[in-house]
């Protein structure tokens, strides 16, 4: 992740998820449902098929829970970055499903190679992040027909200073021509 702020800036990552923009397939786009927990059941609204906890599914039937080829990185096991590597980032701690890292140079990177993702099934990526630095994050990706990370395969989004509280950063890739219909082989943020 290329976090806001320069050398010494810290951030926490709770999870990285490849999203279909309707993760729980309840007919509500994830951005509308949000990442709160409206019924206090421990599930984020975007993953809760009964977000008002009335005992009835938000739709009559969910056809999929985790689509084939989906990827969710929750970092639940301390020390296990689930295939992600870092460059110019120092991992300061990894407990309770949260990875805390500090930037130790220019162009910090959080990279996942050996990725096989059918991008046609997914519209984007969400990152649950805590930081007290405003700025931007950029997602880069490779696909089977590309020769590496390039300017054409990247998307930058704004990150607000949320006072160090968790926020979900969405990379909406639905209209990115270098994403849809490709086999994604690596991700770099």
Q: Taking CA 82 as the corner, what is the angle to CA 75 and CA 8, rounded to the nearest 5 degrees?
A: 65
Residue 37 confidence class, pLDDT cut points 50, 70, 90: confident
Dihedrals phi, psi of 90, to nearest 5 degrees = -105, 120
Residue 52: burial class (beta carbons within 10 Å; 0-12, 13-18, 19+): exposed
Residue 95 confidence class, pLDDT cut points 50, 70, 90: very high
Provide mean pLDDT across the span 159-182. 83
Per the confidence metrics, is the pTM higher than 0.75?
no
Q: To the nearest 5 percent, what fractions of the chain are helix, strand and coil? A: 5, 35, 60
Residue 90: predicted pLDDT:
92
Token pair of 131, please?
């930081």
Token pair of 32, please?
């509308």
Residue 78 confidence class, pLDDT cut points 50, 70, 90: very high
Instruction: Work out the mean pLDDT of the chain and round it to a whole number.
Output: 78
Chain CA centroid to CA 121, Å: 16
Provide mean pLDDT across the span 61-75. 56
Provide mean pLDDT across the span 76-87. 91
110 closest CA partner among 14, 3, 6: 3
CB half-sphere exposure, 171, CA atoms < 13 A: 27
Look at 44-48, 94-98, 164-168 and tell me which has the smallest mean pLDDT: 44-48
| Strand pairing category for 117-118 and 183-188 | antiparallel
Q: Where are the beta strands (DSSP E) in the chain?
A: 10-19, 72-73, 84-87, 89-95, 98-103, 109-112, 117-118, 124-130, 135-143, 154-159, 166-172, 183-188
């Amino acid at each position: 992740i290329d976090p806001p702020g320069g050398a010494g800036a810290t951030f926490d990552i709770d999870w990285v998820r490849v999203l279909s923009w309707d993760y729980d397939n309840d007919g509500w786009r994830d951005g509308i449902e949000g990442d709160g927990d409206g019924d206090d059941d421990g599930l984020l609204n975007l993953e809760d098929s009964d977000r008002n906890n009335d005992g009835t599914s938000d739709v009559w039937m969910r056809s999929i829970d985790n689509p084939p080829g989906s990827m969710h990185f929750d970092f639940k096991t301390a020390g296990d970055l689930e295939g992600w590597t870092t460059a110019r980032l120092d991992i300061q701690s990894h407990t309770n499903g949260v990875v805390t890292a500090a930037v130790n140079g220019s162009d910090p990177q959080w990279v996942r190679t050996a990725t096989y993702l059918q991008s046609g099934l997914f519209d984007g990526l969400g990152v649950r992040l805590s930081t007290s630095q405003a700025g931007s994050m950029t997602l880069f990706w490779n696909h089977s027909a590309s020769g590496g990370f390039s300017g054409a395969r990247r998307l930058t989004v704004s990150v607000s200073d949320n006072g160090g509280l968790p926020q979900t950063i969405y990379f909406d890739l639905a209209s990115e021509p270098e994403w849809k219909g490709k086999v994604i082989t690596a991700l770099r943020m």
